[in-house]
Structure 1
Amino acid sequence: MNIAQWHRDKLGKVVVEKLKKNLFDAVYFSNKEQAVEFVLDKIKPGDKVGIGGSVTLVELKIPKLAEAKGAQLLNHNLPGLSAEQKLEIRRQQLLSDVFLSSSNALTLDGYLVNIDGAGNRVAAMTFGPKKVIVVVGVNKICKNVHAAFERIQLIASPQNNKRLGYPNPCVDTGSCIDCQTETRICRIYSVMKKKPLTTDLTVVVVGEELGY
Protein backbone atom coordinates (compact mmCIF):
# COMPACT_ATOMS: atom_id res chain seq x y z
CA MET A 1 0.00 0.00 0.00
CA ASN A 2 1.20 3.50 -0.85
CA ILE A 3 0.61 5.20 2.50
CA ALA A 4 1.25 8.69 1.15
CA GLN A 5 -1.35 8.23 -1.60
CA TRP A 6 -3.79 6.75 0.92
CA HIS A 7 -3.45 9.91 3.00
CA ARG A 8 -3.85 12.21 -0.03
CA ASP A 9 -6.97 10.30 -1.06
CA LYS A 10 -8.38 10.42 2.46
CA LEU A 11 -7.87 14.18 2.83
CA GLY A 12 -9.13 14.91 -0.66
CA LYS A 13 -12.35 12.97 -0.17
CA VAL A 14 -12.98 14.55 3.24
CA VAL A 15 -12.58 18.03 1.80
CA VAL A 16 -14.88 17.25 -1.13
CA GLU A 17 -17.64 16.19 1.27
CA LYS A 18 -17.18 19.42 3.25
CA LEU A 19 -17.31 21.44 0.03
CA LYS A 20 -20.57 19.75 -0.90
CA LYS A 21 -22.04 20.59 2.51
CA ASN A 22 -21.11 24.20 1.73
CA LEU A 23 -23.17 23.87 -1.47
CA PHE A 24 -20.22 23.74 -3.87
CA ASP A 25 -20.17 21.21 -6.66
CA ALA A 26 -17.02 19.21 -5.88
CA VAL A 27 -15.24 16.12 -7.19
CA TYR A 28 -12.09 14.25 -6.24
CA PHE A 29 -9.61 12.51 -8.55
CA SER A 30 -6.57 10.58 -7.38
CA ASN A 31 -4.50 11.61 -10.38
CA LYS A 32 -4.11 14.61 -12.63
CA GLU A 33 -4.99 12.77 -15.83
CA GLN A 34 -8.53 12.12 -14.60
CA ALA A 35 -8.84 15.72 -13.45
CA VAL A 36 -7.72 17.12 -16.80
CA GLU A 37 -10.19 14.89 -18.66
CA PHE A 38 -13.00 16.10 -16.39
CA VAL A 39 -12.16 19.78 -16.93
CA LEU A 40 -11.79 19.49 -20.70
CA ASP A 41 -15.16 17.73 -20.89
CA LYS A 42 -16.76 20.93 -19.54
CA ILE A 43 -15.28 23.04 -22.35
CA LYS A 44 -16.91 23.18 -25.76
CA PRO A 45 -15.35 24.36 -29.03
CA GLY A 46 -15.92 28.09 -29.37
CA ASP A 47 -16.27 28.70 -25.63
CA LYS A 48 -14.62 31.81 -24.26
CA VAL A 49 -12.39 30.44 -21.52
CA GLY A 50 -10.90 32.79 -18.95
CA ILE A 51 -7.60 31.79 -17.40
CA GLY A 52 -6.84 32.97 -13.89
CA GLY A 53 -3.16 33.28 -12.99
CA SER A 54 -2.41 29.69 -11.99
CA VAL A 55 0.70 27.54 -11.92
CA THR A 56 -1.57 24.53 -11.42
CA LEU A 57 -3.33 25.06 -14.76
CA VAL A 58 0.00 25.49 -16.55
CA GLU A 59 1.42 22.32 -14.99
CA LEU A 60 -1.66 20.42 -16.16
CA LYS A 61 -1.39 22.03 -19.62
CA ILE A 62 -5.11 22.78 -19.46
CA PRO A 63 -4.93 26.15 -21.31
CA LYS A 64 -3.12 24.60 -24.28
CA LEU A 65 -5.43 21.59 -24.33
CA ALA A 66 -8.52 23.81 -24.16
CA GLU A 67 -7.22 25.92 -27.05
CA ALA A 68 -6.50 22.78 -29.06
CA LYS A 69 -10.11 21.77 -28.47
CA GLY A 70 -11.26 25.00 -30.12
CA ALA A 71 -11.77 27.25 -27.11
CA GLN A 72 -11.07 30.98 -27.31
CA LEU A 73 -8.66 31.72 -24.47
CA LEU A 74 -8.85 34.91 -22.44
CA ASN A 75 -5.38 34.79 -20.93
CA HIS A 76 -3.80 37.98 -19.60
CA ASN A 77 -0.58 36.11 -18.74
CA LEU A 78 0.60 35.78 -22.33
CA PRO A 79 3.95 37.46 -23.08
CA GLY A 80 4.06 40.69 -25.07
CA LEU A 81 0.75 42.13 -23.88
CA SER A 82 0.58 45.77 -22.89
CA ALA A 83 -0.86 46.85 -19.54
CA GLU A 84 -3.99 48.06 -21.33
CA GLN A 85 -4.41 44.74 -23.13
CA LYS A 86 -4.01 42.78 -19.90
CA LEU A 87 -6.62 44.94 -18.20
CA GLU A 88 -9.12 44.46 -21.03
CA ILE A 89 -8.63 40.68 -21.01
CA ARG A 90 -9.21 40.63 -17.26
CA ARG A 91 -12.48 42.46 -17.79
CA GLN A 92 -13.51 40.02 -20.53
CA GLN A 93 -12.81 37.09 -18.20
CA LEU A 94 -15.73 38.21 -16.06
CA LEU A 95 -18.04 37.41 -18.98
CA SER A 96 -16.40 34.16 -20.06
CA ASP A 97 -18.28 30.94 -20.71
CA VAL A 98 -15.86 29.06 -18.49
CA PHE A 99 -13.40 30.56 -16.02
CA LEU A 100 -10.53 28.32 -14.91
CA SER A 101 -8.44 28.91 -11.83
CA SER A 102 -6.85 27.31 -8.83
CA SER A 103 -7.05 28.36 -5.19
CA ASN A 104 -4.18 29.40 -2.94
CA ALA A 105 -5.53 27.18 -0.18
CA LEU A 106 -8.42 24.88 0.68
CA THR A 107 -9.45 24.16 4.25
CA LEU A 108 -10.72 21.00 5.89
CA ASP A 109 -13.92 22.99 6.52
CA GLY A 110 -14.42 23.23 2.74
CA TYR A 111 -13.49 26.91 2.38
CA LEU A 112 -11.60 28.43 -0.55
CA VAL A 113 -8.92 30.89 0.62
CA ASN A 114 -7.14 33.27 -1.74
CA ILE A 115 -4.94 36.34 -1.87
CA ASP A 116 -5.02 38.42 -5.04
CA GLY A 117 -3.28 41.46 -6.44
CA ALA A 118 -5.64 43.12 -8.92
CA GLY A 119 -8.65 41.15 -7.71
CA ASN A 120 -9.65 39.88 -11.14
CA ARG A 121 -9.16 36.23 -10.18
CA VAL A 122 -11.26 36.24 -7.01
CA ALA A 123 -13.82 38.46 -8.74
CA ALA A 124 -14.28 35.98 -11.60
CA MET A 125 -14.36 33.05 -9.18
CA THR A 126 -17.23 34.75 -7.37
CA PHE A 127 -19.45 36.30 -10.04
CA GLY A 128 -19.71 36.76 -13.78
CA PRO A 129 -18.65 33.70 -15.80
CA LYS A 130 -21.28 31.15 -16.77
CA LYS A 131 -19.15 28.36 -15.32
CA VAL A 132 -16.21 28.44 -12.87
CA ILE A 133 -13.86 25.49 -12.34
CA VAL A 134 -11.27 25.62 -9.57
CA VAL A 135 -8.55 22.93 -9.68
CA VAL A 136 -6.65 22.34 -6.43
CA GLY A 137 -3.91 19.88 -5.50
CA VAL A 138 -4.08 18.23 -2.08
CA ASN A 139 -0.84 20.01 -1.11
CA LYS A 140 -2.96 23.13 -0.63
CA ILE A 141 -5.27 21.58 1.98
CA CYS A 142 -4.97 23.30 5.36
CA LYS A 143 -6.59 22.68 8.74
CA ASN A 144 -8.43 26.01 8.93
CA VAL A 145 -8.51 29.57 7.58
CA HIS A 146 -5.71 30.74 9.86
CA ALA A 147 -3.46 27.92 8.65
CA ALA A 148 -4.49 28.68 5.06
CA PHE A 149 -3.31 32.27 5.28
CA GLU A 150 -0.11 31.13 6.97
CA ARG A 151 0.48 28.72 4.10
CA ILE A 152 -0.09 31.46 1.55
CA GLN A 153 2.30 33.83 3.31
CA LEU A 154 5.01 31.21 3.73
CA ILE A 155 4.72 29.25 0.49
CA ALA A 156 2.48 30.73 -2.20
CA SER A 157 3.20 34.46 -1.98
CA PRO A 158 7.02 34.34 -2.04
CA GLN A 159 7.04 31.88 -4.94
CA ASN A 160 4.47 33.87 -6.90
CA ASN A 161 6.49 37.06 -6.37
CA LYS A 162 9.60 35.28 -7.63
CA ARG A 163 7.74 33.83 -10.62
CA LEU A 164 6.31 37.20 -11.59
CA GLY A 165 9.56 39.05 -11.03
CA TYR A 166 8.39 41.50 -8.40
CA PRO A 167 11.14 42.99 -6.18
CA ASN A 168 9.19 42.58 -2.95
CA PRO A 169 10.87 41.68 0.36
CA CYS A 170 9.53 38.11 0.44
CA VAL A 171 11.79 37.29 -2.50
CA ASP A 172 14.73 37.87 -0.14
CA THR A 173 13.22 36.59 3.12
CA GLY A 174 11.36 33.58 1.66
CA SER A 175 8.24 34.49 3.61
CA CYS A 176 5.74 37.35 3.83
CA ILE A 177 6.63 40.32 6.06
CA ASP A 178 3.43 42.26 5.28
CA CYS A 179 5.37 44.72 3.12
CA GLN A 180 4.18 48.19 2.16
CA THR A 181 5.77 48.35 -1.30
CA GLU A 182 4.04 49.78 -4.36
CA THR A 183 4.60 46.45 -6.14
CA ARG A 184 2.94 44.39 -3.40
CA ILE A 185 0.69 41.72 -4.95
CA CYS A 186 -0.99 40.55 -1.71
CA ARG A 187 -3.84 43.06 -1.66
CA ILE A 188 -7.21 41.31 -1.72
CA TYR A 189 -7.87 38.62 0.92
CA SER A 190 -10.78 36.30 0.16
CA VAL A 191 -12.47 33.48 2.07
CA MET A 192 -15.28 31.73 0.20
CA LYS A 193 -17.27 29.77 2.80
CA LYS A 194 -20.28 28.92 0.65
CA LYS A 195 -20.91 28.69 -3.07
CA PRO A 196 -21.86 32.13 -4.39
CA LEU A 197 -25.61 32.40 -4.92
CA THR A 198 -25.68 32.67 -8.70
CA THR A 199 -22.35 31.11 -9.71
CA ASP A 200 -22.03 27.61 -11.17
CA LEU A 201 -18.78 26.67 -9.39
CA THR A 202 -17.07 23.29 -9.36
CA VAL A 203 -14.02 22.53 -7.23
CA VAL A 204 -11.81 19.75 -8.59
CA VAL A 205 -9.55 18.33 -5.88
CA VAL A 206 -6.60 16.31 -7.16
CA GLY A 207 -4.61 13.79 -5.13
CA GLU A 208 -1.26 15.14 -6.31
CA GLU A 209 0.97 18.10 -5.52
CA LEU A 210 0.11 20.90 -7.91
CA GLY A 211 1.17 24.54 -7.99
CA TYR A 212 2.13 26.46 -4.91
Structure 2
Amino acid sequence: MLPILFLLFLLISCTHASIPEICVANLKGPQTPAGYTCKDTTKVTVEDYVFAGLAKAGNTTNIIKAAVTPGFVGQFPGLNGLGLSLARLDLAHGGVIPFHTHPGASEVLIVLRGAITAGFVSSANTVYLKRLRKGDAMAFPQGLLHFQLNSGKSHAIAVVSFSSPDPGLQITDFALFANNLPSALIEEATFLDDAQVKKLKGVLGGTG
Protein backbone atom coordinates (compact mmCIF):
# COMPACT_ATOMS: atom_id res chain seq x y z
CA MET A 1 0.00 0.00 0.00
CA LEU A 2 2.78 2.43 0.95
CA PRO A 3 4.70 2.02 -2.35
CA ILE A 4 1.50 2.79 -4.27
CA LEU A 5 0.87 5.96 -2.22
CA PHE A 6 4.49 6.99 -2.75
CA LEU A 7 4.18 6.57 -6.51
CA LEU A 8 0.95 8.60 -6.53
CA PHE A 9 2.68 11.35 -4.55
CA LEU A 10 5.55 11.45 -7.06
CA LEU A 11 3.15 11.54 -10.00
CA ILE A 12 1.15 14.46 -8.54
CA SER A 13 4.32 16.33 -7.62
CA CYS A 14 5.83 15.92 -11.08
CA THR A 15 2.59 16.95 -12.78
CA HIS A 16 2.30 20.04 -10.61
CA ALA A 17 5.95 20.93 -11.11
CA SER A 18 5.54 20.83 -14.91
CA ILE A 19 3.07 23.76 -14.78
CA PRO A 20 4.97 27.06 -14.51
CA GLU A 21 3.88 29.31 -11.67
CA ILE A 22 4.62 32.39 -13.77
CA CYS A 23 4.31 32.54 -17.55
CA VAL A 24 4.22 36.18 -18.58
CA ALA A 25 3.68 36.49 -22.32
CA ASN A 26 6.75 36.90 -24.47
CA LEU A 27 5.09 39.22 -26.96
CA LYS A 28 8.10 38.93 -29.29
CA GLY A 29 7.61 35.18 -29.55
CA PRO A 30 4.94 33.14 -31.36
CA GLN A 31 1.36 32.95 -30.17
CA THR A 32 -0.04 29.44 -30.03
CA PRO A 33 -3.57 28.15 -29.30
CA ALA A 34 -2.35 27.68 -25.72
CA GLY A 35 -1.08 31.26 -25.50
CA TYR A 36 2.27 32.98 -25.88
CA THR A 37 5.53 31.36 -24.92
CA CYS A 38 6.85 32.40 -21.51
CA LYS A 39 9.04 35.44 -20.96
CA ASP A 40 12.35 34.80 -19.20
CA THR A 41 11.39 34.88 -15.51
CA THR A 42 14.51 36.89 -14.69
CA LYS A 43 13.09 39.68 -16.85
CA VAL A 44 9.57 39.62 -15.38
CA THR A 45 8.58 42.69 -13.35
CA VAL A 46 5.50 43.80 -11.46
CA GLU A 47 4.62 46.00 -14.47
CA ASP A 48 3.80 42.85 -16.42
CA TYR A 49 0.95 42.30 -13.94
CA VAL A 50 -0.33 45.90 -13.95
CA PHE A 51 -2.60 47.51 -16.57
CA ALA A 52 -3.43 51.22 -16.38
CA GLY A 53 -5.44 51.44 -19.59
CA LEU A 54 -8.88 51.52 -17.96
CA ALA A 55 -8.36 54.99 -16.51
CA LYS A 56 -8.48 56.82 -19.86
CA ALA A 57 -11.68 57.26 -21.89
CA GLY A 58 -11.64 55.85 -25.39
CA ASN A 59 -12.22 57.95 -28.52
CA THR A 60 -15.93 57.77 -29.39
CA THR A 61 -15.78 60.12 -32.41
CA ASN A 62 -16.49 57.35 -34.91
CA ILE A 63 -19.41 55.83 -36.79
CA ILE A 64 -20.63 53.79 -33.80
CA LYS A 65 -19.93 56.53 -31.20
CA ALA A 66 -18.22 53.94 -29.04
CA ALA A 67 -14.77 52.78 -28.02
CA VAL A 68 -13.33 49.64 -26.49
CA THR A 69 -10.00 49.87 -24.65
CA PRO A 70 -8.70 46.29 -24.43
CA GLY A 71 -6.70 44.83 -21.59
CA PHE A 72 -5.98 41.57 -23.42
CA VAL A 73 -2.75 39.62 -23.24
CA GLY A 74 -1.22 41.83 -25.93
CA GLN A 75 -1.58 44.86 -23.67
CA PHE A 76 -1.41 43.02 -20.33
CA PRO A 77 1.25 40.27 -20.62
CA GLY A 78 0.72 38.94 -17.09
CA LEU A 79 -2.64 37.51 -18.18
CA ASN A 80 -0.93 34.87 -20.30
CA GLY A 81 -2.32 31.45 -19.44
CA LEU A 82 -4.64 32.77 -16.71
CA GLY A 83 -7.87 32.41 -18.70
CA LEU A 84 -9.10 35.97 -18.26
CA SER A 85 -8.88 39.53 -19.61
CA LEU A 86 -10.80 42.78 -19.44
CA ALA A 87 -11.62 45.97 -21.29
CA ARG A 88 -13.17 49.40 -20.86
CA LEU A 89 -16.28 50.26 -22.86
CA ASP A 90 -17.15 53.91 -23.61
CA LEU A 91 -20.48 54.76 -25.23
CA ALA A 92 -21.23 58.35 -26.14
CA HIS A 93 -24.87 59.48 -26.33
CA GLY A 94 -26.39 57.34 -29.07
CA GLY A 95 -23.39 55.00 -29.10
CA VAL A 96 -23.63 51.31 -29.88
CA ILE A 97 -21.46 48.21 -30.01
CA PRO A 98 -23.23 46.39 -32.90
CA PHE A 99 -24.06 42.70 -32.90
CA HIS A 100 -20.81 40.79 -32.47
CA THR A 101 -19.35 37.58 -31.09
CA HIS A 102 -16.30 36.54 -29.09
CA PRO A 103 -15.38 33.10 -30.44
CA GLY A 104 -12.93 32.44 -27.62
CA ALA A 105 -14.63 33.64 -24.44
CA SER A 106 -17.71 34.35 -22.39
CA GLU A 107 -18.14 37.94 -21.16
CA VAL A 108 -19.41 39.76 -18.10
CA LEU A 109 -20.29 43.46 -18.38
CA ILE A 110 -20.48 45.78 -15.34
CA VAL A 111 -21.98 49.26 -15.80
CA LEU A 112 -20.01 52.00 -14.04
CA ARG A 113 -21.88 55.03 -15.37
CA GLY A 114 -25.05 55.77 -17.31
CA ALA A 115 -27.55 53.32 -18.74
CA ILE A 116 -26.76 50.55 -21.23
CA THR A 117 -29.29 48.32 -22.98
CA ALA A 118 -27.67 44.98 -23.69
CA GLY A 119 -28.78 41.66 -25.03
CA PHE A 120 -27.84 38.40 -26.68
CA VAL A 121 -29.55 35.81 -28.86
CA SER A 122 -29.28 32.12 -28.03
CA SER A 123 -28.72 29.40 -30.63
CA ALA A 124 -32.48 28.72 -30.32
CA ASN A 125 -33.10 32.39 -31.28
CA THR A 126 -34.35 33.27 -27.80
CA VAL A 127 -33.66 36.93 -27.00
CA TYR A 128 -32.29 37.96 -23.60
CA LEU A 129 -32.56 41.75 -23.25
CA LYS A 130 -32.11 44.13 -20.31
CA ARG A 131 -31.64 47.83 -19.62
CA LEU A 132 -28.73 48.03 -17.20
CA ARG A 133 -27.89 50.87 -14.82
CA LYS A 134 -24.88 51.73 -12.68
CA GLY A 135 -23.80 48.71 -10.67
CA ASP A 136 -25.69 46.17 -12.80
CA ALA A 137 -23.88 43.27 -14.45
CA MET A 138 -24.83 40.97 -17.32
CA ALA A 139 -23.24 37.79 -18.68
CA PHE A 140 -22.92 36.88 -22.38
CA PRO A 141 -22.20 33.20 -23.18
CA GLN A 142 -19.27 32.37 -25.42
CA GLY A 143 -19.84 32.61 -29.15
CA LEU A 144 -23.37 34.06 -29.05
CA LEU A 145 -24.35 37.23 -30.89
CA HIS A 146 -24.74 40.16 -28.49
CA PHE A 147 -24.76 43.97 -28.43
CA GLN A 148 -24.66 46.98 -26.11
CA LEU A 149 -26.08 50.45 -26.71
CA ASN A 150 -26.27 53.65 -24.71
CA SER A 151 -29.90 54.03 -23.68
CA GLY A 152 -29.36 57.01 -21.39
CA LYS A 153 -28.89 60.73 -21.87
CA SER A 154 -25.18 60.93 -20.99
CA HIS A 155 -21.88 59.18 -21.65
CA ALA A 156 -21.96 55.55 -20.45
CA ILE A 157 -19.00 53.57 -19.14
CA ALA A 158 -18.65 49.86 -18.43
CA VAL A 159 -15.92 47.36 -17.66
CA VAL A 160 -16.09 43.98 -19.34
CA SER A 161 -14.31 40.81 -18.29
CA PHE A 162 -13.61 37.80 -20.51
CA SER A 163 -12.86 34.15 -19.76
CA SER A 164 -9.80 34.18 -22.02
CA PRO A 165 -6.68 36.35 -22.30
CA ASP A 166 -7.49 36.72 -26.02
CA PRO A 167 -11.29 36.46 -26.56
CA GLY A 168 -11.37 37.31 -30.26
CA LEU A 169 -13.95 39.56 -31.91
CA GLN A 170 -16.14 39.53 -35.02
CA ILE A 171 -18.62 42.35 -35.61
CA THR A 172 -21.44 41.09 -37.84
CA ASP A 173 -21.99 44.35 -39.75
CA PHE A 174 -18.29 44.67 -40.56
CA ALA A 175 -18.04 41.00 -41.56
CA LEU A 176 -20.84 41.53 -44.09
CA PHE A 177 -20.29 45.05 -45.38
CA ALA A 178 -16.68 46.13 -44.70
CA ASN A 179 -14.94 43.81 -47.15
CA ASN A 180 -14.99 42.80 -50.81
CA LEU A 181 -17.58 40.01 -50.57
CA PRO A 182 -19.69 40.42 -53.74
CA SER A 183 -22.91 42.33 -53.13
CA ALA A 184 -24.94 39.77 -55.06
CA LEU A 185 -23.89 37.02 -52.66
CA ILE A 186 -24.71 39.15 -49.60
CA GLU A 187 -28.14 39.91 -51.07
CA GLU A 188 -28.87 36.21 -51.52
CA ALA A 189 -27.56 35.31 -48.06
CA THR A 190 -29.30 38.10 -46.13
CA PHE A 191 -32.49 38.82 -48.18
CA LEU A 192 -31.47 42.50 -48.40
CA ASP A 193 -31.97 44.33 -51.67
CA ASP A 194 -29.14 45.74 -53.80
CA ALA A 195 -29.70 49.35 -52.70
CA GLN A 196 -29.47 48.44 -49.00
CA VAL A 197 -26.32 46.39 -49.47
CA LYS A 198 -24.60 49.09 -51.54
CA LYS A 199 -25.56 51.73 -48.96
CA LEU A 200 -24.13 49.70 -46.07
CA LYS A 201 -20.96 48.92 -48.02
CA GLY A 202 -20.58 52.63 -48.70
CA VAL A 203 -20.96 53.51 -45.03
CA LEU A 204 -18.59 50.81 -43.76
CA GLY A 205 -16.03 50.94 -46.55
CA GLY A 206 -16.78 47.69 -48.36
CA THR A 207 -16.41 47.08 -52.08
CA GLY A 208 -17.83 44.64 -54.61
Q: TM-score, normalised by structure 1?
A: 0.29
Q: TM-score, normalised by structure 2?
A: 0.29
* Structure whose residues are more often helix by fraction: 1
* Structure whose residues are more often strand by fraction: 2
